[in-house]
A and B are shown apart, each in its own frame.
Chain A
Amino acid sequence: MTDYWTNKLIFDLQGPDGKDRWTNHREDVIAKYPVSPEIRRALLDDDIGALLPLVNPYLMRFFLLMLGYDDAKSIDVLGKFQTDEERMRVHG
């Protein structure tokens, strides 16, 4: 389910200083948003699997780019969370 504040945090990082704020002041950034302790932990740990169901995919794409993941790495990281049904669709 979409989590408003997690998405809001990522949405707000789209500004020009977003990457710097996230890289160098991550805890301060997170503290500005009323996210649950579990989400806070996931954000601190780059726990993409925990964030995936909560974050809009297009914002997730931006988030991974901001973390420095190129396309291949993003595909690899996200692919680990494919369901069997999704695996069937993609690979037949």
Chain B
Amino acid sequence: MAKIVGSFAASHAPNIARSWHDLKDDTRDWLTTRYGEMGKRLKALGPDVIVVHSNDHWVNFFLDNIPAFLIGIGDEHDGPPEPFMKPIFDGKAFRGHHGLGSHVLSYAMGADFDPAYSHRIKIDHGIGIPLWRMGLDPLPPIVPVFLNLVEEPFPTPKRCLAWGHMIRDAIESYPEDIRVAVLSTGGLSHSIGEATMGWIDEPFDQACIDLFKSASDSKLASELDRMMAVTGNGGAELRTWSIAHAAAGGQGFELIDYTPLPEILIGCGLAEWKIAA
């Protein structure tokens, strides 16, 4: 049977790619060492597949059709089409994992979730940037999972936690002996294209970090609900962190590092959840 070997979360600010060569040395060094550390930890776990949760940024979906959850089940997915991502991936496709993706889809349906699915989805910067900065080479196949976190209403934190638990169960019921890591991307606080743009809400970020250390599911869900309503719109992406948290069994959180980085407009954080044996 498949085994979940690790769960991770990391920010995915587009300016990391868009402005990489123009960033201050300190910022670039911070990003290089922290994402490098996460990549080292992930590689050490030897994952055969990575299940990656992120949000679409108007690359795959528009207002005429926005799935709350979508699972990429194909054996291949398109590389990021955004102009600032082109120099990094040069249009190269990402390997998918049809077996695990289809299994997670069927399992989700059987568990009363109703996700959309795609045999070929475009990977955008949300998934591309953390994978790029972690330096995984070769990159294992991925099962991309997209949440709607750009146009409200969004899935509730409670639903995201339930989704994370379901993902764990789905992985562990996959009949092949493969090692699977979970990666969630987004957050922490940021404010994009709204009147408070540029705001990094450090108290929000610290409160979220504290919650992941010890809060129960019900406390985490209610607090995220309350706090996300009064922070910048990018804070909504903490929902993906809650999925990584639940997939790890709601314990084992270890912050790799956090710092506010105004140059890339986000509170930048990376974390690992150790999976209990």
Does B198 reach chain A (CB closer than 8 Å)?
yes
A58: chain B residues at CB < 8 Å are 57-58, 150, 192-193
Within 8 A of B (CB), among A1-30: 2, 4, 7-8, 11, 14, 16
Cβ of B192 and Cβ of A11 under 8 Å apart? no
Cβ of A71 and Cβ of B83 under 8 Å apart? no
Question: Residues 229-247 of chain B: 1 if any A CB is under 8 Å from the residue's CB, otherwise 0?
Answer: 0110100000000000000
A22 to B199, CA, bound (A): 29
Give min CB distance, B97 to chain A, whole Å: 29
Cβ of A52 and Cβ of B192 under 8 Å apart? no
B233: chain A residues at CB < 8 Å are 57
A64 to B198, CA, bound (A): 14
Cβ of B151 and Cβ of A2 under 8 Å apart? yes
Q: Which residue of A lies closest to B199 (CB)?
A: A90
Does A40 reach chain B (CB closer than 8 Å)?
no
A52 to B193, CA, bound (A): 9
Within 8 A of A (CB), among B212-255: 230-231, 233
Residue from the set A52, A58, A62 with the largest chain B CB neighbour count within 10 Å: A58
Question: Residues 169-210 of chain B: 1 if any A CB is under 8 Å from the residue's CB, otherwise 0?
Answer: 000000000000000000000001111111101000000000
Does B63 reach chain A (CB closer than 8 Å)?
yes
Cβ of B196 and Cβ of A90 under 8 Å apart? yes
B83: chain A residues at CB < 8 Å are 16
